[in-house]
Structures are given as C-alpha cells and as structure tokens.
Amino acid sequence: MEIKEEGTSEEGQHFLSAAQANDSEDIQFTSIQKIPNEPQLEFILACKDLVAPVSDRKLNTVVQISVIHPVEQTLTRYSSTEIVEGTKDPLFLTGVTFPSDYPIYEETRIKLTVYDVKDKSHNTIRTSVLPEHKDPPPEVARSFLGCASFKVGELLKSKEQLLSLSLRTSDGGKVVGTIEVSLVKMGEIEDGDTDHITTDVQGQKCALVYESTAPENLSGKENLPFMNAVLRNPVCKLYRFPTSDNKWMRIREQMSESILSFHIPKELISLHIKEDLCRNQELKELGDLSPHWDNLRKNVLSHCDQMVTMYQDILTELSKDTGSSFKSSSSKAEKTLEFVPINLHLQRMQVHSPHLKDALYDVITVGAPAAHFQGFKNGGLRKLLHRFETERRNTGYQFIYYSPENTAKAKDVLSSINQLQPLIATHADLLLTSASQRSPDSLKSSLKLLSEKTELFVHAFKDQLVRSALLALYTARPGGILKKPPSPKVSTEEKSTQHDTPQLRRQDSIPHHSDYDEEEWDRVWANVGKSLNSIIAKVDKLIERDGHNEDGAGGSSSKDGEADPTLEDSITSHPREDWYEQLHPLILTLKECMGEVVSRAKQSLTFVLLQELAYSLPQCLMLTLRRDIVFSQALAGLVCGFIIKLHTSLHDPGFLQQLHTVGLIVQYEGLLSTYSDEIGMLEDMAVGISDLKKVAFKITEATSNDVLPVLTGRREHYVVEVKLPATLFESLPLQIKEGQLLHVYPVLFNVGINEQQTLAERFGDVSLQESINQENFELVQEYYSIFMEKMPPDWDLNISHFQEQNDLKGLLDNLHQNIQAKKRKNVEIMWLAATICRKLNGIRFTCCKSAKDRTSMSVTLEQCSILRDEHQLHKDFFIRALDCMRREGCRIENVLKNIKCRRYAFNMLQLMAFPKCYRPPEGTYGKADT
C-alpha cells in the first residue's frame, strides 16, 4: 500500500487532488451529512490498558491518525495527537477534525497507530514518509505499539457514537490495549449524555464528564456563506481541555488563507496606475513653461512614466496568479509579490464550554507590512519620510517648499475638480431638460442639485494654496521671473478662516510677485458663484410668473436673487415664455466660468505636484513606491479583518450601531525587535498601519455572485465597498444601508521578544518602540472617549455598562503605566492592548517578520490565556493546552506550509531570550531553512 504524508508530500494541502476527488464521485460513496461551514467529522481518542514492550518502563504515547481513501486505497497520514507521558491509559487532548470540503465518506477507513515515544525531540518533525507497519528507524526514537482501524460509517452509526477498538501488533495477532474513539459534535450535547473517563496522567487527574447545557450553535448564528467567498484552504484542529470544575470544554482551532491577499493588491495597483496616468497627463497639459521648468518637467515625466510601467508589469505578473491566496514567508522579498501581504491568515478559536455561552475569537496573523525587496539598509518609512521632509524644507533652492499637508491638499482639490466638473455639467443639462418640459417641480429639484454641487465646487478653491500656486506658476511661465525671495505670506482671508481649514504653515515658502494681479483669480472664481445666482434668480422668476399666469392672480413679490446685473439676462414679462430659451444662455455662462476656473486651478495645482517631484527625483518616487507597497500589504489584512468581523457580528445590533456611529478600532500587536533590519521593518509597519486611517468602508447590496470587495479612491483616501447578500443587507441599520462611510482607527503596540531585542535593550536603542507605544496609546484613548460618548449606556446588554466602563478604564490605566514603566520585554503591554481591543469589539492582528514563528507563539498563548480567563481552563492544564496547540495545532501547519517542515525556526539561544510563555515545546523547534 502506498503511504502519503499528509501535509508533507502534499505540501500542507489537506485535500485530495481534484482528479482524485472526481474519481471518488464516480463510484458513489456515502457522503457524511454536512452542516454548512462546519467540519464533517470530529472525534477524540483515549487508550486503555496499553502494554509496554519493556515492563519497567512507563509509556509516552502518541497516536498517528491516517486515512485510507476508499478508491485508491492509499494511506495518507492526516494528523497526530500530542504525546501523553507516563501512563498506560492516555487520554488525548488533541482531537481529530475533517473540514467541510475534505473528501471523506462513510466508507473511508481511518487507521490509528499508537507509538511509544522515547525521545520527544524527534517526534513531531515528520519530514519523510515512513512505512506504517515497520518499526521506525532508531533516530526517530519511537516504537510501534499497536494499531486499529474503523470505517467512518461505523463510528457514525455506533451506539452512543463511541467505538472501542482493540489495538493489535503489526502481525495482527497480540492485543496490546484498546483505543476509544468518541464522536464529537461541537455545541451539541445530547440530554443526559454522560461519559466518565479517568486519567492518571502524572499529576493531571481529571474526569471527563459530558453534560447537556443547551448550548447555542455558533455556526447557525453566524450564517456565514459569504465568508467562504474570501477564505480558502482551512486547517482545523480539535481539542478538549478540562475546566477548573473538572468538566470538559471543546475547542476548535481554524486557520484559513484569504484570496484577499492577492485581490486587494491587484485592485490597489490598478488605482495607482489610474491615478498616476492622470497626473502624468495633467503634467503634460501644464502648458508653456520656462526652459528651466520645462526641462524639469521632461525629467519628471520620464521617471513617472517608468514608474507607471513598473506598476503595470507588477499587475500583469500578479494577474497571472489567478486564485492564489497565500504568499509564503520565503517569498517575502520577491519583487513581483511585494504588494502581497506575507503569510496572511485568519486564526480562529471557537470554544464550547459547559455553562458558558459559546464564543469565537479571531486574530488575523500576517507578516509585518514592510518593503523587503527594497530592504532596510537606510531604515524604514517612518525615518525615510521624516528625513525626506526635513531635507526638502531646509534646502536653499529655486523650488517652493510645500508641506506634505499642502501637497495632499493640492491632490484633494484636483480630485474634487475632476469629480465635480462633469457632475455639475450633468446637473446643468438636467435643469435644461426640466425647463424644456416646463415642469416647475422637476426644475426646482434639478436646481437644488445643481446648486449643491456648484457650491461644493466653489468651496473647493477657498484656499490660500490655490492662490499661491497660481502665483508660483506665473513665475514659471516663459518670461515670468521671481523677483523676490520666497517668503511666507498670510492673507487677510487666510487669517480669518484659520479656524476652518488647515492653512499654509510658516515653513511653506510661498512666493510673492509684485507684477502679478492677484485679484484676477478672485474675479474668475467669483464668477462661478455669480452665474449660479443668476440661474437661481431666473428659475425663481420663471416659476413665479408661471404661477401668476395660471392663477390669474398677482402672486407674491419676487425674491431678491443676488444676481450680477452684468451676467443676468433682462427678464421681460411674457406670457408662456420659453423656459429653455431663457435658461440656456445662463447655463452656458456657468459652464464657461467653471471651465476657466478649472483650467487655471488644475494647472496651478499640478505645478505644486511638479515641484514636489522635480525637487527630489528619484527618491520621491521610490518613497511613494515603498509607501504603496507597505500600504497594500496592510490594506489587504485590514479588508480581510473587516469582512470577517462584519460577518461574525452581523447579528449584534450593538456592533452595528458602533460601526456607523463610532467606527472600529483595529489593534496590531507587533513582535519585531528594535535591532538591525527589524528596526526598518517596524518603521515601515508603523507608517503602513497609520496610513490605514485613510480607508473607509461602505456596505452595499450584492447584485451578482461576485462578492469580492471593490476599491475606489486615490492615495489620500480610499473607500472599500463590501458587498452583502440582499437578506443580510436588509437587516442592516438605515444609516449603513444608505451608504454611510464606516471608519477604522488603527493602532499598533510593539514589544520585541527575541534575542535581537535583548541586544537592543543592552547595547542599542528601544526609543522607536517606546514612542510608537506612547503615540498609539493616545490614539486608543481618543477612540475610547468617542466610544463612550457616542455609544448608548446599554451598548452591551450582557455586561453592566458601569462595570464595563470601569474595567476598560482600569485596563487603559494599566496599559499606560506599563508603557511608561519602560520595563524590558514587557509582554503585559500586548496582553492589555489585546484585551482592550476585544472589549471594544475591535479587530485583532498579530504580526512579526513573517507571522510564522513568534506570531505562532503569541496567538497560541493568547488563545490559552483566553481559555484560562474567560472559560475556566483548569490551571494545571494551561501549559499542556499551550503545548498541544503549538505541537499539533494550526500554527505548526502554518510553519509547514511556509517552509515545508514542521519546525519553528528557533535555536536554543533564541529561546532562552524569549519570555517563558513564548517558548515552544521540546521537539517542535530547531534549525530550519527559512
């Protein structure tokens, strides 16, 4: 019989190939009854009366679970239990679970092989295929005790859903004990179903008691068919752990990839290409420039065109990866995959514990968003951006310095112009259509829309920046000479509006030019408002006279429009006058005035961008590229986290209210050290996460099967449209259905834990971590204040508001004290920040360099700590639960799928530097080729 190593020879895949699965379908096997999104089959194992090969030696046992597929009769190693030490009656805490799409049938045979492990350090490192019936070679250090097998159907149909099987030696002769297989149904315990098993595992006595507690089925409540649209390749693990009152809780751990890993970067790169092509076009349309500026423009354009080509190439490459949903840690520095997040997964823990409500805990695990291809020799974004701005500000130059706020503002105004101009033209045409239909109501509503948009348009230019940019452009035209040195200028209007809009700061060096007619722009700009007023006045009069004619009555006196007499047509009293004819010239005037404003403003603001680019080629473009890459990785994770949070909390009215009144906190736990390259990674990560503030979400109703999120916007502001099926969409609050933008508040707390951090603490500098933690603490506090202010007192019906408020306040104070304390490797900071995030209903992230090793230690620790603090995990079982999860759980599978070997990449030296709870169990770590 052929033996395959599940997850090794098939590189972490838990599925048969499509061809194999199809073969199985032809033969018609009996499928297991499925609950949507739930595993098909789950069971737990215990052995009794095992016979030790050498009588004076205590047994350390492990069960290897293999699947014999009914068609090709091949044996695939599927999973293992943990090792239970020193007993002939081992009771295993690690169970077996087959996800919903695993090709398993009632006819499928499961083989259970029991081994005695002599050296734990060798057991879990299964990198080669071993013959099942032969004793393993000596270096594996485990010996075969006995095996048994059963058909899935036999277990499903068995009385009390339990099989007791004899374990036999390899020749099928001698009985060496029994193995019990108990079917598990998470969240579903039959009335009066009790089962007592006692284990005498060293110092860990406990009774297994199943009791009915009328549990709620989480999956029913979740109603998550749409989650399948974004999640892929789930890996499931099952455990049972004792509670402090000697009952059992069941835990299902699930880890899934997301196709958003590739989908979001592709969407984002397309938007960058669109945005940059448009900018390049605007640069070309800047008109005549003096030879100096014209040369600079040519240079800028050639670099910008190259950048666009590069983005296009990356998009083409990524588009070849259709259906991909995972980038491994070993590909982290691949150029074509730079926009894709590293090792992104949903790590989920589902808990069913007696007397308590079932609960779900989600963490998104992902490599720290960072530009690995560009590298970290010169640091990361936080430092690079700061250095870039300082250099720009301090150089004596022929360029004008515009602060980042002002260049962002220039892009904002340009984008508003591009959106509003066609909109206004459409509304103006609709007004004319209403006029030709002579419909007063439709005329009024068209006028309302036209006025609103035109006011927005006029308002967009109410900024000193446009004026100063016009002047700067004037000096750069052929013949335009800057006679005076650049000096900041604050106009009267600027002073008066300082409270409304952020104004040019002192360091913005705006030129002043004595020959330049500053009033001209004011006149052009004001003409738009005036021509709108003329239209309003005309419409009022037309409607009024119409009423007058129809009533035959005098009507009320006409309203006084603020029309400019030079622009307004003289209105002659005329029975049944032609409204279209009357309005048409005024609309033409409005369009002309607008065109004039657009052409001047567009050119001047494009010139602001030209100066930013011209000053610092190519660094400026490289910095933009780096920021785009880091942001793309961060955004893919965020969208994944948001969609999962939305789907799991749709049933919760408190959550939905929080979503549209406050927004969601998104908390990142960073485990990077502040030493060597990881300093640069942390600097990238801090900017990438902070940039997520520019993202808002909008929920829409799905109109087709394509439910993937859609991205719109540009570098300053993005909107992610998340689609929901009609039934779910209908149940949302009105504000969300009406398309209100939903905001996120990203925060990052970092605590380095490895040997590099020891070096940083002893000989280096930890100020980066300290300032990130302090800055982000302030952000959490801000969020907390808004949350308390906007959420009604009964926002969480399960917990008294007062109690919750006190808890949160206490946690925040505690977090603050810990940040201030500047203790070494203070992992308390991470626990407090994560707890605050969970209490605030936020989205949790855990990240290290590649989200593989340190992240795995941290999420498993978090899971077990939650079980201890929220679900009464028996305190004596805390370490054993932690070891089970690290040895046989989803995270070791994560390591396998990244580096094709089940081994956390830690050496002894590294481990000694870790805080104790972050050290994996013996036999799960060692030298690995990462």
Ligand X SMILES: O=P(O)(O)O[C@H]1[C@H](O)[C@@H](O)[C@H](O)[C@H](O)[C@@H]1OP(=O)(O)O
Active site residues: 848
Per-residue contact track with ligand X, 670 to 709, x per CB under 6 A? ----------------------------------------
Could you say whether residue 906 binds ligand X (CB under 6 A)?
A: yes
Could you say whether residue 533 binds ligand X (CB under 6 A)?
A: no
Could you say whether residue 854 binds ligand X (CB under 6 A)?
A: yes
Residues 338-377 contacting ligand X, CB under 6 A: none
Could you say whether residue 852 binds ligand X (CB under 6 A)?
A: yes
Per-residue contact track with ligand X, 313 to 332, x per CB under 6 A? ----------------x---
By CB under 6 A, which span of 91-99, 141-149, 388-396, 849-857 interacts with ligand X?
849-857
CA distances from 517 to 461, 485, 525, 548 (A): 17, 18, 14, 47
How near is the Cβ of 927 to ligand X at its closest, in Å?
9
Q: Which of 351, 362, 363 is nearest to 871 (CA)?
A: 351
Is residue 191 packed enough to be buried (19+ CB in 10 Å), middle (13-18) or exposed (0-12)? exposed
Tell me the residue ranges of DSSP E strands in 160-230.
Answer: 162-168, 175-183, 197-199, 206-208
- Looking from the CA of 533 toward its CB, the CA atoms found within 13 Å total 16
Answer for the pair 127, 136: CB distance below 8 angstroms, yes or no. no
Written as six digits, the tokens of 264 are 């979001």
Tell me the C-alpha distance between 494 and 466, whole Å. Answer: 12
Per-residue contact track with ligand X, 48 to 77, x per CB under 6 A? ------------------------------
How near is the Cβ of 896 to ligand X at its closest, in Å?
13
By CB under 6 A, which span of 276-284, 604-612, 818-826, 843-851 interacts with ligand X?
843-851
Answer for the pair 694, 718: CB distance below 8 angstroms, yes or no. yes
Question: What's the helix, strand, coil split of the chain in %, to 5?
Answer: 45, 15, 35
Q: Which CB sits closer to ligand X, 329 or 421?
A: 329
Could you say whether residue 445 binds ligand X (CB under 6 A)?
A: no
Pairing of strands 843-847, 359-365: parallel
Element housing 820 (H / E): helix 801-821
Residues 121-140 contacting ligand X, CB under 6 A: none
| Distance from the first to the final alpha carbon of the chain | 33
Q: Which CB sits closer to ligand X, 210 or 914?
A: 914
Position among 266, 382, 541, 849 found at the interface with ligand X (CB under 6 A): 849
Residues 100-119 contacting ligand X, CB under 6 A: none
Residues 856-875 contacting ligand X, CB under 6 A: none
How near is the Cβ of 367 to ligand X at its closest, in Å?
7
Helix (H, G, I), strand (E, B) or coil at 884: helix
Could you say whether residue 910 binds ligand X (CB under 6 A)?
A: yes
Helix (H, G, I), strand (E, B) or coil at 910: helix
Q: Which CB sits closer to ligand X, 242 or 921?
A: 921
Q: Which CB sits closer to ligand X, 187 or 670?
A: 670
Q: Which CB sits closer to ligand X, 219 or 894?
A: 894
Position among 769, 850, 863, 872 found at the interface with ligand X (CB under 6 A): 850
Tell me the residue ranges of DSSP E strands in 49-205.
Answer: 60-68, 75-80, 84-85, 96-98, 109-117, 142-151, 162-168, 175-183, 197-199
How near is the Cβ of 89 to ligand X at its closest, in Å?
38
SS (H, E, C) 539-565: HHHHHHHHHHHHHCCCCCCCCCCCCCC
By CB under 6 A, which span of 108-116, 132-140, 173-181, 904-912 interacts with ligand X?
904-912
The amino acid occupying position 565 is: P
How near is the Cβ of 67 to ligand X at its closest, in Å?
30
Q: Which CB sits closer to ligand X, 695 or 772?
A: 772
Is residue 667 packed enough to be buried (19+ CB in 10 Å), middle (13-18) or exposed (0-12)? buried
CA distances from 206 to 44, 163, 763 (A): 16, 21, 48
Position among 853, 883, 888, 893 found at the interface with ligand X (CB under 6 A): 853
By CB under 6 A, which span of 378-386, 391-399, 592-600, 851-859 interacts with ligand X?
851-859
Q: Which CB sits closer to ligand X, 546 or 678?
A: 678
For residue 79, give every residue at least 6 positions away whose Cβ sits within 8 Å of its Cβ, in sequence order, or none. Answer: 6, 65, 94, 96, 237, 888
Helix (H, G, I), strand (E, B) or coil at 155: helix
Q: How many other CB atoms are found less than 10 A from the CB of residue 393? A: 12
Which residues sit opposite 155 in a β-bridge? none
By CB under 6 A, which span of 412-420, 495-503, 789-797, 846-854 interacts with ligand X?
846-854
Q: How many other CB atoms are found less than 10 A from the CB of residue 138? A: 10
Q: Which CB sits closer to ligand X, 372 or 714?
A: 372
How near is the Cβ of 853 to ligand X at its closest, in Å?
3
Answer for the pair 104, 153: CB distance below 8 angstroms, yes or no. no
Position among 224, 259, 268, 905 found at the interface with ligand X (CB under 6 A): 905
Q: If binding means CB under 6 A, how many residues of this protein chain bind ligand X?
A: 13
Q: Which CB sits closer to ligand X, 532 or 905?
A: 905
In DSSP notation, 428-481 reads: HHHHHHHHHHT-HHHHHHHHHHHHHHHHHHHHHT-SHHHHHHHHHHHHHSTT--
By CB under 6 A, which span of 43-51, 602-610, 731-739, 850-858 interacts with ligand X?
850-858
How near is the Cβ of 895 to ligand X at its closest, in Å?
8
Answer for the pair 540, 444: CB distance below 8 angstroms, yes or no. no
Q: Which CB sits closer to ligand X, 80 or 846?
A: 846
How near is the Cβ of 772 to ligand X at its closest, in Å?
18
Pairing of strands 175-183, 41-48: antiparallel
Per-residue contact track with ligand X, 271 to 310, x per CB under 6 A? ----------------------------------------
Per-residue contact track with ligand X, 184 to 213, x per CB under 6 A? ------------------------------
Residues 383-422 contacting ligand X, CB under 6 A: none
Tell me the residue ranges of DSSP E strands in 312-427.
Answer: 345-352, 359-365
Buried b (16+ CB within 10 A) or exposed e, 790-823: ebeeebbeeeeeeebeeebeebbebbbebbeeee
How near is the Cβ of 906 to ligand X at its closest, in Å?
5
Which residues sit opposite 84 in a β-bridge? 61
Could you say whether residue 892 binds ligand X (CB under 6 A)?
A: no
Angle at 648 between CA 644 and CA 649, to 5 degrees: 115
Q: Which CB sits closer to ligand X, 461 or 925?
A: 925
How near is the Cβ of 731 to ligand X at its closest, in Å?
40
By CB under 6 A, which span of 73-81, 184-192, 513-521, 853-861 interacts with ligand X?
853-861
Q: Which CB sits closer to ligand X, 667 or 855?
A: 855
Position among 848, 882, 884, 890 found at the interface with ligand X (CB under 6 A): 848
How near is the Cβ of 755 to ligand X at its closest, in Å?
8
How large is the C-alpha radius of gyration of the chain?
Answer: 34
Q: Which CB sits closer to ligand X, 428 or 672?
A: 672
How near is the Cβ of 337 to ligand X at its closest, in Å?
14
Is residue 929 packed enough to be buried (19+ CB in 10 Å), middle (13-18) or exposed (0-12)? exposed
How near is the Cβ of 850 to ligand X at its closest, in Å?
3
Residue ranges that bind ligand X, judged by CB under 6 A: 329, 848-855, 905-906, 910, 930
